[in-house]
Amino acid sequence: MKALVVQPPVAAGPFCPDAFADNGDGRGICWGLSHIVGFGNGFLLRFDCDLHRDVDRSFLKCGTIQADEDSHFQPRTTLPPGWQKRFMQEAISTRDKTANIDLEAKGEGEATVIYRMNPHLDTRERGLETASLMVRTLRGEISPVQWLEMPPMVINILKQHTEEEPCLSLMQDVDEAMARPRILSASLSLSYQYADVAEMGASFLAVADGDLLAARDAARWMARRAWARRAEFVASAPSPEEALEEAASCAGRPVVLMDVGDNVGGGSAADSTILLREALRLGIGDMLIVLKDPESTFAWHRGELAPTAAGPRSQPELIDATPQALRRALDSLRAGPDR
């Protein structure tokens, strides 16, 4: 036994400075942050442990430690008097770059900070920005008010890379809006186009210090500039046949084909066979496709896979006969030494 964990922290995030050292000599952890939700609030608390090779905390080696609630909410970790009520009255949050923003996200005591980069590489910076707004608000230094503009437009997911045009210019507009007087924060949400919700669509947000008109003007300015360029955000993707033929003709390997509609992070079942069927039809065999189909996997190992077995089980109406080429490929694998 290497360790005995007693009273493990809730939603623990351990501090591990050598997490990415990749030197084969990890030293372990001795502290971290825990997220405790209670009393209508969420608290970030420090926890300590004795799971580090260079730290010896003998008092933590006793397996009968019993800590009461007061040990978690020490004076140095609790909010100052009166801050908890004020904290509950403020609605300051951080959102994903592709979030679909609530239509009611405007008014006093609100501030929404959205990631500025897609891919999401600035989460730490936006978290610090949000925390700064909250602290300044609680201290009475600022009074954030927010305005949301949602023009009737969708930025295609293939046009949402913020380091390339046309999205790059939108982010430059956000920076310009941030430089306006009394503006505390400005954001653009690209939205998630596959979500069947009323809030789906591009959202432009501006947060001002007690000046709702300034927030409105900044948000509308960003939205109008995007609306004037709306044709640039329409995208067309190659068909499965075109994409596979182009990939097969590339001299450099490997080539990665991304089916943006089969997004497991957005609710997809990860069992689409469209690319697989098209690749087999074209005679392309030097490829790897990952499907989630445990039923067919177990049946194949038992030697029971029928030609009609594989397919998108989340949508039975789309299941069609598995190509004979796939059956032959599976049969050859089953007969091999590494079955």
* Contact partners, residue 83, CB within 8 Å, separation at least 6: 138
- CA-CA distance, 188 to 204, in Å (whole number)? 5
Per-residue pLDDT at 299: 75
Q: What is the pTM of this model?
A: 0.64
Give Cα 325 distance to the centre of its chain: 37
Q: What is the mean pLDDT of residues 156-171?
A: 94
Tokens describing residue 320: 């069609």
Please enumerate in sequence order all residues whose Cβ is within 8 A of that of 44, keeping only pairs 6 or more positions apart, or say none.
Answer: 33, 34, 35
More confident residue, 116 or 325: 116
Residue 108 is predicted with a pLDDT of 57
Residue 184 CA to residue 134 CA, distance in Å, equals 12
Cβ-based burial of 105 (10 A; exposed 0-12, middle 13-18, buried ≥19): buried
Task: Output the six-digit token pair for 79.
Answer: 């909010």
Give the pair of three-digit tokens for residue 173: 């507009």
Model confidence at 231, pLDDT cuts 50, 70, 90, reads very high
Q: Band the pLDDT of 337: cuts 50, 70, 90.
A: very low
Q: What is the mean pLDDT of residues 298-325?
A: 57
List, for residues 242-286, the tens digit of each pLDDT value.
999 999 898 887 898 887 777 776 667 777 778 888 888 888 878
User: Alpha-carbon distance 90 to 109, whole Å?
Assistant: 5
Phi, psi of 16 (to 5 degrees): -130, 90
Give the mean model confidence (pLDDT) for residues 225-246: 92
**What is the percentage of the chain residues whose pLDDT exceeds 90?**
31
The more confident residue out of 122 and 8 is: 122
pLDDT, tens only, 281-306: 888 878 888 777 777 777 777 776 55
Residue 61 banded pLDDT, cuts 50, 70, 90: low
**Residue percentage of the chain with pLDDT more than 70:** 73
* Distances from the Cα of 57 to the Cα of 5, 25, 54, 68, 161, angstroms: 14, 21, 10, 20, 48
- Measured at the CA of 110, the angle between CA 229 and CA 230, to 5 degrees, comes to 5
* Amino acid 293: pLDDT: 75
Lowest-confidence segment of 36-40, 269-273, 323-327 by average pLDDT? 323-327
Which of these, 102, 109, 100, lies nearest to 137 by C-alpha position? Answer: 109
User: Is pLDDT larger for residue 214 or for residue 337?
Assistant: 214
Query: Pick the residue with more confidence: 212 or 106?
Result: 212
Residue 321 has pLDDT above 50, yes or no: no
Return d(Cα 171, Cα 100) in angstroms, integer.
18
